[in-house]
């Protein structure tokens, strides 16, 4: 098993101004949607910057699979870094 | 997630105790200095997430309400700690007052944030329910043994065993057994559906009373349930156009507030002095939260889509909610939509000494092995009448004409065109009459003599009439569009009560009719989503019904009805109307609330604590009002 850690920027999660109430809803959705993909072991969504960090087993999932899911939810994805951590 | 909520509650509770203690001491005003420090610590501890958020947002170029709250609290704390030593007119009581306000404000914002977060999380409830229905294990038959394995390990083509009371773990086909299955998870319809060999089953539905063996066709992320969950998630992220109004407003809101706060400070400073100016500026910063405006719509959209999904309706985004609310004409496809789509035997005419049983029996013998829909209808009728059907000695199907068979010494002919027998005048007249009603007449000929006629027709769905009536009751006109002949169309149109109907249309002509109807109407087109995809695509809102299991249908439609219940068309429209009026109401309410609170703050009528209470109350009431859309329910169906 190899675990990969990938960090990417998503551009829909823009703060609309308030205490991120609306963003909470979106970030919550995004977090759940990625977490449910098989092989994903860790997920962090920063609601201020839109930065998403995902750790996944790359035999069960792939970067393409994850970004496809995120794009389907209406975000533009831009990969920042990708590394094998285990 | 839950751990996180618990943690926040704990902090709030501790904060409350500390605050109560500090206040009691504060009134005595004995330990002024110590209390100041305690209050400062409380304000910092309670609000650290707000400050972090505000400062980080600013770092990334965004001015947010958190930033305002941070500045307001910071000003209060500095005033409380520094001013007494800097300005001799400032007493300990004033200093403690500033610090108390800072701590209370931090506490209220934190409490409000937690409550909002909780409510917003609850709007995901519908989705969570679906996710919870996703099976985690399956009982698989391997090497003649039953083994329970994790759902990830089930392979396509394997046989899973489902006992009564168990969730069906996969999408597949029943290969043995018979049971009633509750498919409410998918279709929203709680009346169990009979499943037997050859029927499709869906993961996440409930097997009620029999043992089923199912051949696995789709697993894990490919099942209908998994697709559903993904669709709902995607839909909830798609904004409603009305959101743009609120967004545009909030974009300018905070910069304007910054200017307003500075002007209030300047104006008050020169007329009323430093202390008043400080107070009013802090108050303005605290009410300047566009929160209610920015979340009113997204929460309502999420709640509406969640509510619909619990009722077997997938509305694919906020845009469609806004379109649905305007629908004033619903056009239906006929075959398979308003009707069942398969012929059923509706009448049996007999001649001479033969009984109804005889007619059906001979017809069924001849048609027993034929795959034609009409043959299936006859065989189904026979088993419904408890008639045992012996095998024919031999049989042959003549395409487009009928069936010829032998049964012992008897010769059976079914179908009109191949009859060599002269039809009696009586039979001929009867058949003409049946056909003029839009039904199919199947003459049964035994040894060259017409012994009877089986009348078959496509029947209207149980709920079609009710569906049309409900639409009319909310002021939506109804129409039927079909490729079938005029007689059949008229007969069905009369039975279901549509306002108008169009018959004998080719698929491209259906599109033309839809375009014509759109002239002056907002048109919803309801069909199966496969054959009538072009008509659906050309309407304002395309509904695909019976969409569970058909990815194409779900893909094409703007709204997918997963079950066969057409009354859901009216529900989707009514729900959208309610949702939209609530979104609009919330925006107006939030706007007025903001203006009033700001005016009160600018003229010094509010204290900082009152201001923050007002801002939070406005925000929370809007969130609750939107989230309540989740509880909407369709009218129950009349029992038939």
**SS3 for B169-221, per residue?**
CCEEEEEEEEEEEECHHHHCCCCCEEEECCCEECCCCEECCCCEEEEEEECHH
Q: Burial letters for B594-619: b for 16+ Cβ neighbours within 10 Å, e otherwise?
A: beebbebbbebebbbbbbbbbbbebb
Of B318, B304, B331, B332, residue with least CA distance to B572: B304
**Residue B48 in this model has a pLDDT that exceeds 90:** no
Residues of chain A contacting B, Cβ within 8 Å: 12, 15-22, 24-26, 28-29, 32-33, 36-38, 48-49, 69, 72-74
Final residue in a domain of this structure, among B176, B191, B219: B219
Interface of B with A in 601-630 (CB under 8 A): 619, 623
Copy the structure tokens of residue B332.
Answer: 């239906």
- Answer positive or negative: Cα dihedral of B187, B191, B192, B195: negative
What pLDDT score was predicted for residue B330? 96
Q: Is B333 a catalytic residue?
A: yes
Q: Tokens 């706060």 appear where?
A: B261
CB contact under 8 A, A28 and B120: yes
**β-strand B410-414 against B440-446: which pairing, if any?**
antiparallel
Instruction: List the single range of A65-74, B32-41, B274-283 with lowest mean pLDDT.
Output: B32-41
Q: Which of B43-47, B260-264, B313-317, B603-607 has the lowest mean pLDDT?
A: B43-47
| Residues B156, B112 share a domain | no
Mutation target vs B (from A10, A11, A19; most B CBs, 10 A cutoff): A19
- Give the right CATH number for A3-84 from 1.10.3720.10, 3.30.70.100, 3.40.50.2000, 3.40.50.720: 3.30.70.100
pLDDT of res. B68: 86
B233 membership: H or E segment, kind and range: helix B224-237
Give the whole-angstrom CA distance, residue B126 versus residue B17. 36
Provide the CATH number for the domain around residue B161. Answer: 2.70.150.10
| Alpha-carbon gap, residue B365 to B379, rounded angstroms | 8
Instruction: Spell out which residues of chain A touch residue B302, defining contact as CB-CB under 8 Å.
Output: 25
Q: Which two tokens stand for residue B118?
A: 């909780």
Which residues are paired to A51 by β-bridges? A9
The β-bridge partners of B139 are B148
Contact A19 B117 (CB under 8 A): no
Structure tokens belonging to residue B578: 């309610």
Strands A40-45 and A51-57: antiparallel
Could you tell me where the DSSP H helices lie in B87-152? 92-123, 125-132
Q: What is the pLDDT of residue B422?
A: 61
User: In this structure, what CATH number is given to the domain that contains residue B305?
Assistant: 3.40.50.1000
Same domain, B489 and B531: yes
Parent domain of B490: 301-339+461-576
Model pLDDT, residue B500: 95
- Mean pLDDT within B103-120: 84
CA dist B596 and B611 (Å) reads 11
3-state secondary structure B38-90: HHHHHHHHHHHHHHHHHHHHHHCCCCCHHHHHHHHHHHHHHHHHHHHHHCCCC
Residue B366 is encoded by which pair of tokens? 């001849």
Tell whether B109 lies on the interface with A, counting CB pairs under 8 A. yes
Residue B1 has what pLDDT?
A: 45
The per-residue pLDDT for B273 is 84
Among residues B523, B547, B576, the one where a domain terminates is B576
B125 secondary structure, DSSP code: H
Q: Is B502 among the domain residues?
A: yes
Indicate whether B443 and B497 sit together in one domain: no
State chain B's mean pLDDT as an integer. 85
- Does pLDDT of B56 surpass 70? yes
- Count of the separate structural domains present in chain B: 4
Burial environment of residue B269 by CB neighbours within 10 A (0 to 12, 13 to 18, 19 or more): middle
* Contact (Cβ atoms closer than 8 angstroms) between residue A5 and residue A39: no
Given the cut 0.85, state whether the ipTM is greater than it. Answer: no
**CATH at residue B377:** 3.40.1110.10
Q: B115 and B13, same structural domain?
A: yes
Strand B449-460 to B440-446 pairing: antiparallel
Residue contact B64–A20, C-beta within 8 A:
yes
How far is CA B427 from each of CA B12, B99, B354, B367, B458, rounded to the nearest angstrom?
86, 99, 14, 21, 22
In this structure, of A54-68, B220-234, B409-423, the range with the lowest mean pLDDT score is B409-423
State pLDDT tens for residues B449-493: 888 999 988 889 888 999 999 999 999 999 999 888 888 889 899
Q: Is B611 inside any structural domain? A: no
- Are B350 and B432 found together in one domain? yes
Give the pLDDT of residue B501. 95
Residue window 267-306, chain B: list those with CB within 8 Å of chain A. 289-291, 293-295, 298-299, 302
How many A×B Cβ pairs under 8 Å?
100
pLDDT band at B275 (very low <50, low <70, confident <90, very high): confident
Instruction: Tell whether B273 is covered by a domain.
Output: no
- Once rounded to an integer, what is the mean pLDDT over residues B624-633? 90
- Structural domain spans, chain A: 3-84
Q: Among B132, B294, B319, B555, which would you mutate to test the A interface (most chain A Cβ atoms within 10 Å of its Cβ)? A: B294
Do residue B302 and residue A25 have CB atoms under 8 angstroms apart?
Answer: yes
Q: Which two tokens stand for residue B386?
A: 């408890």
Per-residue pLDDT, averaged over A3-25, amounts to 64
Element (H, E) at B350: strand B339-350
The answer to whether residue B263 sits within a structural domain is no
Q: Closest approach of chain A CAs to the CA of B198, in angstroms?
A: 30
Task: Count CB-CB contacts under 10 A for residue B129.
Answer: 13
Q: How many C-beta neighbours within 10 Å does residue B533 have? A: 19
Residue B15 in this model has a pLDDT that exceeds 80: no
Residue contact B234–A24, C-beta within 8 A: no
B3 with B117, same domain: the answer is: yes
A contact test, residue of B58, B70, B117 with most A CBs within 10 A:
B117
**Average confidence score pLDDT of chain A:** 80
Position with higher pLDDT, B191 vs B283: B283
Once rounded to an integer, what is the mean pLDDT over residues B34-41?
A: 79
Partners of B350 in beta bridges: B452
B206 inside domain: yes
Q: For an interface test with A, which of B298, B302, B622, B624 has the most A Cβ atoms less than 10 Å from its Cβ?
A: B298
> Per the domain annotation, does B637 fall within a domain?
no
Number of neighbours of residue B79 by Cβ within 10 angstroms: 25
B251 touches chain A (CB under 8 A): yes
- Interior angle at CA A59, CA A56 and CA A64, nearest 5: 65
Is A18 a residue whose pLDDT tops 60? Answer: no
Highest average pLDDT, of A42-46, B293-297, B372-376, B483-487, comes from: A42-46
**Closest in B113, B233, B251 to A29, CB measured:** B233
Q: Read off the tokens for B151.
A: 């759902």
Structure-token pair, residue B338? 């308003």
pLDDT reading at B288 higher than 90: no
Answer yes or no: are the C-beta atoms of B307 and B500 closer than 8 Å: no
Nearest residue in chain A measured CA to CA from B69: A19
Clarify whether residues B569 and B551 are in a common domain: yes
Domain shared by B328 and B352, yes or no = no
Interchain contact, A17 vs B109, CB within 8 Å: no
Residue of A nearest to B302 (CA): A25
Q: To the nearest 5 percent, what fractions of chain B are helix, strand and coil?
A: 55, 20, 25
Catalytic residue among B279, B333, B358, B528: B333
In a domain, B258, yes or no: no
Indicate if B417 and B333 belong to the same structural domain.
Answer: no
Contacts of B131 in chain A (CB under 8 A): 32, 36
Q: Are residues B359 and B418 in the same domain?
A: yes
Sheet containing strand B449-460, strands side by side:
B339-350, B449-460, B440-446, B410-414, B402-407, B394-398
The answer to whether position B234 is within a domain reads no
Measure the CA–CA gap between B501 and B481, rounded to whole angstroms. Answer: 6
Q: How far is B433 from chain A (nearest CA, A)?
A: 55
């Amino acid at each position: 098993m190899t675990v990969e850690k990938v960090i990417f920027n998503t551009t829909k999660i823009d703060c609309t101004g308030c205490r991120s109430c609306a963003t909470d809803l979106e970030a919550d959705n995004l977090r759940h949607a990625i977490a449910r993909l098989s092989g994903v072991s860790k997920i962090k969504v920063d609601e201020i910057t839109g930065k998403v960090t995902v750790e996944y087993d790359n035999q069960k999932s792939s970067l393409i699979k994850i970004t496809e899911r995120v794009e389907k939810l209406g975000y533009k994805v831009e990969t920042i870094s990708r590394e094998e951590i285990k | 997630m839950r751990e996180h909520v618990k943690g926040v509650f704990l902090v709030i509770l501790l904060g409350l105790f500390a605050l109560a203690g500090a206040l009691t001491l504060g009134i005595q005003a004995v330990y002024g200095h110590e209390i100041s420090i305690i209050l400062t610590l409380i304000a910092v501890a309670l609000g650290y997430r707000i400050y972090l958020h505000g400062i980080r947002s600013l770092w990334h170029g965004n001015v947010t309400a958190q930033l305002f709250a941070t500045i307001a609290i910071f000003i209060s704390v500095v005033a409380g700690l520094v001013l007494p030593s800097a300005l001799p007119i400032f007493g300990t009581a004033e200093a403690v007052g500033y610090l108390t306000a800072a701590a209370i404000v931090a506490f209220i914002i934190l409490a409000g944030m937690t409550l909002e977060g909780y409510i917003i999380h609850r709007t995901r409830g519908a989705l969570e329910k679906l996710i919870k229905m996703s099976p985690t294990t399956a009982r698989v038959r391997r090497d003649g043994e039953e083994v329970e394995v994790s759902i990830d390990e089930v392979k396509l083509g394997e046989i899973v065993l489902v006992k009564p009371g168990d969730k069906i773990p996969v999408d597949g086909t029943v290969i043995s057994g018979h049971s009633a299955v509750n498919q409410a998870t998918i279709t929203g319809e709680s009346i169990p559906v009979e499943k037997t060999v050859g029927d499709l089953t869906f993961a996440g539905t409930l097997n009620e009373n029999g043992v089923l063996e199912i051949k696995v066709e789709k697993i894990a992320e490919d099942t209908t349930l998994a697709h559903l969950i993904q669709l709902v998630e995607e839909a909830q992220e798609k904004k409603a156009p009305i959101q743009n109004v609120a967004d545009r407003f909030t974009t300018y809101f905070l910069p304007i507030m910054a200017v307003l706060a500075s002007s209030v400070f300047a104006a008050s400073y020169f007329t009323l002095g430093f202390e008043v100016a400080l107070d009013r500026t802090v108050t303005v910063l605290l009410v300047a939260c566009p929160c209610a405006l920015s979340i009113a719509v997204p929460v309502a959209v999420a709640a509406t889509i969640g509510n619909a999904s619990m009722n077997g309706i997938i509305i694919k985004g906020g845009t469609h909610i806004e379109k649905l609310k305007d629908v004033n004409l619903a056009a239906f496809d006929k075959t398979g939509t308003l009707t069942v789509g398969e012929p059923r035997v509706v009448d049996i005419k007999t001649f001479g000494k033969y009984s109804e049983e005889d007619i059906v029996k001979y017809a069924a013998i001849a048609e027993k092995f034929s795959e034609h829909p009409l043959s299936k209808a006859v065989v189904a009728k026979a088993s419904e009448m408890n008639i045992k059907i012996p095998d024919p000695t031999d049989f042959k199907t003549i395409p487009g004409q009928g069936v010829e068979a032998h049964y012992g010494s008897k010769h059976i002919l079914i179908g009109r065109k191949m009859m060599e027998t002269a039809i009696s005048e009586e039979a001929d007249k009867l058949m003409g009459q049946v056909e003029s009603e839009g039904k199919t007449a199947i003459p049964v000929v035994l040894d060259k003599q017409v012994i009877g006629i089986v009348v078959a027709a496509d029947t209207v769905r149980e709920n079609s009439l009710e569906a049309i009536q409900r639409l009319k009751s909310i002021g939506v006109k109804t129409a039927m569009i079909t490729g079938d002949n005029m007689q059949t169309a008229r007969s069905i149109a009369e039975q279901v009560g549509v306002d108008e109907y169009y018959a004998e249309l080719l698929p491209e002509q259906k599109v033309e009719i839809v375009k014509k109807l759109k002239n002056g109407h907002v048109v919803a087109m309801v069909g199966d989503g496969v054959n009538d995809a072009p008509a659906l695509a050309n309407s304002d809102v395309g509904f695909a019904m019976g969409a569970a299991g058909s990815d194409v249908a779900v893909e094409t439609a703007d709204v997918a009805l997963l079950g066969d219940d057409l009354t859901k068309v009216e529900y989707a429209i009514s729900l959208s109307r309610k949702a939209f009026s609530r979104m609009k109401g919330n925006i107006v309410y939030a706007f007025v609330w903001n203006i009033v609170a700001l005016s009160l703050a600018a003229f010094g009528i509010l204290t900082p604590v009152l201001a923050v209470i007002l801002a939070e109350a406005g925000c929370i009431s809007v969130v609750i009002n939107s989230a309540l859309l989740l509880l909407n329910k369709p009218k129950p169906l009349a029992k038939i």
